[in-house]
Structure 1
């Protein structure tokens, strides 16, 4: 970790007695054991309800038993695909998390401090803003100038 770029540092190192090989003597990738990421998650416990929620979402997305608030998403086996799963779970739980937040902040504590709650959806039966209402309004001079630009 001191000499390699961050993206090249392995998240887990597994020690094997010997590498599995095929009948032709080549490395048998299918016979390699799956990395054990759950042993890595030994960090500090959550201190706020948001941290507690994010710890459970990290654990669910990563398929590990427990996540501490200082554990890095990527050290626990996360990647870009799993980050999408985490973002989806967080949004369903009411947190405004984007994939870039996962990559930028990496830990539960950092993400919890950076993200906000999603605005609640309008209650059933309440009127939404008029869908016919224009997003912007232009006076006649602006409309004429706009029309001229398109000719």
Structure 2
């Protein structure tokens, strides 16, 4: 983005959709890296992936690729965009689609194990816990990896991975497949 932020009808639609989530107090929609981004002041700490999923269910392909939890809305979205890399991982989600066949397979396995109905909504960097993982779903994931890919992955390693990207590296290192 360049120049002062000007609110458009599309900005307003994304913002108003965000405000329908019970944990969103305030929201600011803006364009970042040619995609929608959203700064959210939450009512209480909440999962950024949960907010993203809520918006995707309402807006489909117009949903934001990036959601950031903030203490106060930024006055200048351009300046705020420059600070995004400094936000803690628990306060930001940026959807990154899988690129390799292994990553797509693992996204589908994670979606199945945590109950996400559409595997295309699981990104490489999405945190398993934010997606709804618990001990049983991680056991199911490890079982799926072993049965489908023939890779024995220790439960602790799957838990420590925490994301599809890290899981793909773990599977790749154990199997010789490219991540």
TM-score by length of 1: 0.50
